[in-house]
A and B are shown apart, each in its own frame.
Chain A
Amino acid sequence: MYATSYHRASSVEDAVKLKSAHDEGKYLSGGMTLISTMKQRLAAPSDLIDLRHIPSLRGVRIEGRKVTIGAATPHADVAASRELAAICPALCQLAGHIGDPHVRHMGTIGGSIANNDPAADYPAGVLGLGATVVTDRRSISADDFFTGLFETALAEGEMVTAVTFEAPEKAGYAKFNNPASRFAMTGVFVAKTAGGVRVAVTGAGSSGVFRHSGFEQALAGNWSADALSNITVDSSGLMSDLHANAEYRANLVKVMARRAVASAG
């Protein structure tokens, strides 16, 4: 790791101010991605602005069916939230299967979506729920937020403060683990929301998380796993790597979508 200066931000304003004072600085949340990248000398931020001690960024808040998850909330807290489990168990289940216990107690939703790893789980949940990403300066719809591999709509210095969404009528998530990393080799999040059926696929697309409109239409007419039986998934635009080629991923997209619907009930 190269030398870096650590700052513990006390509030969102403090964090944003620190960031603007340090051009080459970076926000630090759980550090599960950033610190290991720094240890490998693949990132060299001059300053780290730690967000985890800002009280307003942490926790799951529920008002009626409106859910707000602070950006610095670790995966384990989301997985364990009873209030959230009562209205959207699929997201608890998703969070509960990220990485291992160490990762779940450190890694955060804000860090995960800001990083937008094409094999991460949260992007599927956030896009599938049609959530809104709240930042220090605006609100961005999930449809606009994820823009490509490790790319988001965040501007330089912009900070995610929360993710909000309306609890869906039904939702389910099915993940097929990469055998080595256990990130999603393919993960599909399905939700029946007030705004319609949404199906988001992670781990498979060569430009990151995406919505599958064919599945969405089929499920809008008939919410059942069988509704997807006759739809073929086009393998073009899907990733091929060491672990799985595009054709196999296309198969997994369909199988996981069916299982997600089945788990949603």
Chain B
Amino acid sequence: MGVEGIGARVTRKEDKRFLTGKGRYTDDMTVPGMKYAYFIRSPHAHARVKGIDASAARSMPGVIDVLDGKQLQADGIGNLICGWMIHSKDGSPMKMGAWRPLAVDTVRYVGDAIAIVVADSLGEARDAAEAVVIDYEPLPAVTETAVAMAAGAPQLHPEAPNNLIFDWQLGDGDAADRAIASAAHVTEIEIHNNRLSPNPMEPRATLGIYDGAEDHYTCYTTSQNPHVARLVMSAFYNVAPENKLRVIAPDVGGGFGSKIYIYPEEIVCLWASRKTGVPVKWTADRTEAFLTDAHGRDHVSKVKMAFDADNHITALKVDTIANLGAYMSLFSSAVPTYLYATLLSGQYAIPAIHANVRTVYTNTVPVDAYRGAGRPEATYLLERTIETAARELGISPAELRRKNFIRTFPYQTPVIMNYDAGDYEASLNAAMQAADWAGFEARRATSEANGKKRGIGMSCYIEACGIAPSAAVGSLGAGVGLWESAEVRVNAVGTIEVLTGSHSHGQGHETTFAQLVAGRLGVPIESINIVHGDTDKVQMGMGTYGSRSGAVGMSAVVKALEKVEAKAKKIAAHLMEAAEEDIVIENGELKVAGTDKALPWFQVALAAYTAHNLPSGMEPGLKETAFYDPANFTFPAGCYVAEVEIDPETGETDIVQFVAADDFGNIINPLIVEGQVHGGIAQGIGQALLENVQYDANGQLLTASYMDYAMPRADDLPSFKLSHQNTPCPSNPLGIKGCGEAGAIGSPPALINAITDAIGNNGLTMPATPMKVWQALHAAH
């Protein structure tokens, strides 16, 4: 363990670079001859494109070229794909409409890219873009989830009648219906999950460089998974074969899911670089980010939860419509299905569960995974429903949850997941105690005396992360495997490079991955470097999302380290004339157990590279690789408590305390874990109280800047009281779960449960803005 090993609060190695402005982001990359791209985007939510006249623009100052979708198509560049096949319950495959990197005959949302201007400067590119004349024939648009399938609604894709992409189900509908029919009590509720914009601090950017002499492409991009980007661009978009395409994701300033996907811009800039013979860079501005970064959430659901006379849950039935926007983004189909319905059992033993999910096209930005991806939607639905049931049944929300907790593991839910470990009551107890739940009524009385309304609410979440066993996801339709790779390179002087297929864009891998190695070998953390984000340096990898870098990425490092350690022990045993089994690695030395014989780590490394005296038949060098494919998801769980005070005159909510009790299994670095939880809760509070993507009836995005899209700021947030419980994960060598998304998953229902408790009106929807709370208060009286 020690001060730098697993469990230590090591400050982040990467922060010096970030805090002093020395990070190297895609937009910082400048190469000789580089030019700038400006994307011309549709101002209409839905229109036919009758013609593009770029003749005037082409002769404007500084303009290299104006390129459009017809040229892209003629060069054989493919359409964007969705990489997870879902079948409807009638057996038919999902109905995927064509998404061209540059629209050809139809545009389907405001922001849909239609042409690109390449010029000496961005200003000149923009000037020329204004001179490109596009003849649009506007068509009617539909943006709302609930009405997309209605008769007469505008149709987006000929492949998908009624805008229905798939009609999918999971679980046993008959069993759920039977249990509901014979229930002692049924709680029914309608749940809306608001649409969010991810807003990473760094906007998306890309630099495409074509080298004609080598017929080779380099793509700098703001990606969470550069190898997947290369794979998809090679295999599906025909940009270039993999050996001719290098993808580099340097420092990336946050992603939250939105930088998993391969967007049109990377493909178009690479192609444009070949077409024009110059490197082409594009960086989104903030409005472009609102208009084109994949959005998150946007579900409407009807829920029934059945109880027996003893208040045990007997069934859950869910009918969800999920909005996927104008096109199917890379993992969009998996989010409202296998990342959502599989978590509908929550922390509860529910014998019968049935979920029906219909996904729809609308004239809006494509929707895909956003921090939590499906699990926040499941948690919000379940935790609002059980809270409502407790109120209807007249029993305390904690009591109802306790009564229904799963208590023996492994536990097979009726919706695929097999929970491996957990202790839900431990987190519930810790959270209630930290929040002084018992003292709430007294605090409420004080608030009442001051003319305020006080409420308390909890949420018991579970999530599945560390995605995931490749065979399992393959059988469910995934187009890729979800293992991870690692390479541990010990240099001749004993310093170490760890190459990982995980990608750090805020998570602190340069610190935690180094801690793992420092702890196991007992070498200083400064002697370890983490290398990631470059397909020329790191062998194939799957990237970072779904809180998988710890559970999957670090497990791969463990597997590679084990091989390195085994070889080092062989060398040490040979040099010290001891038995291999007697060698232990401790404090930077290889020791013969029970003796005072030892060799320092660097000396064994040196011996591996001088190769003067190695065991017979051993290859020189000390470098090993491993691929790790997890045996199961990991299941972080916990309990969050929010306490709010509401000003009835204005409807303003003040979060007076927020408690999080999380079980992430073993923890590598508590400082970083707490940071992840803080950030996640901040985003959850954003969803619950502030954030909401809104379109007008014509499909114009109304919330396209921070003037109208409300992001949480420091003074919107209380300080958080955190604690950790620990049931180690049995399916990976480190016993760790995942902590990156929990905060965003667990917090929204705790807040809405608290606010509805305070105002006595259960019909409130997110975001609970002051106006909505004020209206709900008045409606309640």
CB of A37 within 8 A of chain B?
Answer: no
Query: Which of A41, A179, A252 has the most chain B CB within a 10 Å cutoff?
Result: A179
In contact, B707 and A176 (Cβ under 8 angstroms): no
Contact B774 A179 (CB under 8 A): no
Residues of A within 8 A of B30 (CB): none
Interface residues of B in 619-675 (CB under 8 A from A): 649-652
Scan residues 149-170 of chain A and give those whose CB is less than 8 A from a CB of chain B: none
- The interface bits of chain A over 58-99 (1 if a CB of B lies within 8 angstroms of the residue's CB, else 0) are 000000000000000000000000000000000000000000
Does B44 touch A at the CB level, under 8 Å? Answer: no
Shortest distance between the CB of A240 and any CB in chain B (Å): 11
B-chain residues with CB within 8 Å of residue A40 when the two chains form the complex: 287
**Interface pair B123/A1, CB less than 8 Å apart:** yes
Q: Which of B703, B709, B775 contacts A248 (CB 8 A)?
A: B775
Contact across chains for A255 and B649 when beta carbons are under 8 A apart: yes
Residues from chain A with a CB closer than 8 A to the CB of B127 are 2
Closest B residue to A176 using CB positions = B650
A124 to B707 CA separation, bound complex (whole angstroms)? 20
CB pair A245–B771 under 8 Å, yes or no, is: yes
A181 and B706 in contact, given A248-B771, A248-B774 (Cβ under 8 angstroms) = yes
Q: With A1-B123, A41-B126 in contact, do A179 and B703 touch (Cβ < 8 Å)? A: no
Number of A positions contacting B (CB below 8 A):
16
A138 to chain B, nearest CB (A): 34
**Chain A residues near B725 (CB-CB < 8 A):** none
Shortest distance from the beta carbon of B25 to any chain A beta carbon, whole Å: 21
Q: Is the CB of B126 within 8 A of A243?
A: no
Once the chains are docked, how many angstroms separate the CA of A251 from the CA of B652?
A: 13
* CA distance in complex: A194, B694 (Å): 47
Contact B650 A243 (CB under 8 A): no
Which residues of chain A have C-beta atoms less than 8 A from B707's C-beta?
Answer: 180-181
Closest Cβ–Cβ distance, residue A144 to chain B (whole Å): 29
The answer, among A2, A181, A252, A255, for a CB contact under 8 Å with B708, is A181
Interface residues of A in 101-123 (CB under 8 A from B): none
Closest residue of chain A to B716 (Cβ to Cβ) is A179
Within the complex, the shortest CB–CB distance from A255 to chain B, in Å, comes to 5
A244 at the interface (CB under 8 A from B): yes
**Contacts of A244 on B, CB cut-off 8 Å?**
771
Cβ of A242 within 8 Å of any chain B Cβ, yes or no, is yes
A252 and B706 alpha carbons, distance in the complex (Å): 23
Categorize the interface residue count of chain B: 20 to 34
Q: B650, A252: Cβ atoms under 8 Å?
A: yes
Q: Which residues of A contact B694 (CB under 8 A)?
A: 242
B650–A255 touching, CB < 8 Å: yes
Would you give the shortest CB distance from B779 to chain A, in whole angstroms? 12
Shortest CB–CB separation between residue B707 and chain A, in angstroms?
A: 4
B690 touches A179 (CB 8 A): yes
Main secondary structure on chain A at its contact with chain B? loop
Q: List the A residue with the shortest CB-CB distance to B710.
A: A180
- The CA-CA distance from A113 to B702 in the complex, in Å, is 26
Residues on A with C-beta less than 8 A from B652 are 176
Whether a CB of chain A sits under 8 angstroms from the CB of B474 is no
A242 to B693, CA, bound (A): 11
Neighbouring A residues of B702 by C-beta, 8 Å: 242
Q: Which residues of B contact A2 (CB under 8 A)?
A: 127
A180: contacting residue among B706, B770, B775, CB under 8 A: B706
A244 to B772, CA, bound (A): 9
Which B residues are CB-close (under 8 A) to A255?
649-650
- Cross-chain contact of A179 among B126, B649, B710 (Cβ < 8 A): B710
Please, how many angstroms separate the alpha-carbon atoms of A220 and B707 in the complex?
37
Chain A residue nearest to B702 in the complex (CB): A242
Tell me, rounded to whole Å, the shortest Cβ–Cβ distance linking A20 to chain B. 29
**Using Cβ atoms and an 8 Å threshold, which residues of chain B touch A251?**
649-650, 774
Beta-carbon contact of A180 and B708 below 8 Å: yes
B404 CB contacts on chain A under 8 angstroms: none
Against A, the Cβ 8 Å flags (1 = close, 0 = not) of B262-301 are: 0000000000000000000000000100000000000000
* Bound form: Cα–Cα A180–B127 in Å: 31
Q: Assess whether B769 is interfacial by the CB under 8 Å rule.
A: yes
Residues of B within 8 A of A242 (CB): 694, 702-703, 708
B681 to chain A, nearest CB (A): 18
A265 to B771, CA, bound (A): 28
- Write the chain A residue with the least CB distance to B709: A180
Residue in chain B with minimal CB distance to A40:
B287
Contact of B650 with A179 in the complex, beta carbons under 8 Å: no
Fill in one digit per residue for A173-210: 1 if any B CB lies within 8 Å of its CB, else 0: 00010011100000000000000000000000000000
B709: chain A residues within 8 A (beta carbon): 180
CB distance from B348 to the nearest CB of A (A): 34
Q: In the complex, which residues of chain A have a beta carbon less than 8 angstroms from the beta carbon of B651?
A: 248
Chain A hits for B770, CB < 8 A? 176, 179
In the bound complex, how far is the Cα of B720 from the Cα of A259, in angstroms?
Answer: 30
Complex: A244 Cα to B711 Cα, angstroms: 17
Instruction: Tell me the complex Cα distance, A1–B123, Å.
Output: 7
B649, B706, B711: residue with the most chain A Cβ atoms closer than 10 Å: B649
Report chain A residues within 8 Å CB of B123: 1
Q: How far is the CA of A176 from the CA of B651 in the complex (A)?
A: 11
How far does the alpha carbon of A248 sit from the alpha carbon of B774 in the complex, in Å? 8
8 contacts between A and B (CB under 8 A): A176-B650, A176-B652, A180-B707, A180-B709, A180-B710, A242-B694, A242-B703, A243-B771
**Additional pairs, 8, CB under 8 Å, beyond known A181-B707, A248-B774:** A1-B123, A176-B650, A179-B710, A242-B702, A243-B708, A244-B771, A248-B771, A251-B774
Residues on B close to A: CB < 8 A?
A: 123, 126-127, 287, 649-652, 690, 694, 702-703, 706-711, 769-771, 774-775
Which 9 pairs show the lowest CB-CB distances between chains A and B? A180-B710, A179-B710, A181-B707, A248-B771, A255-B649, A244-B771, A180-B708, A242-B702, A179-B690
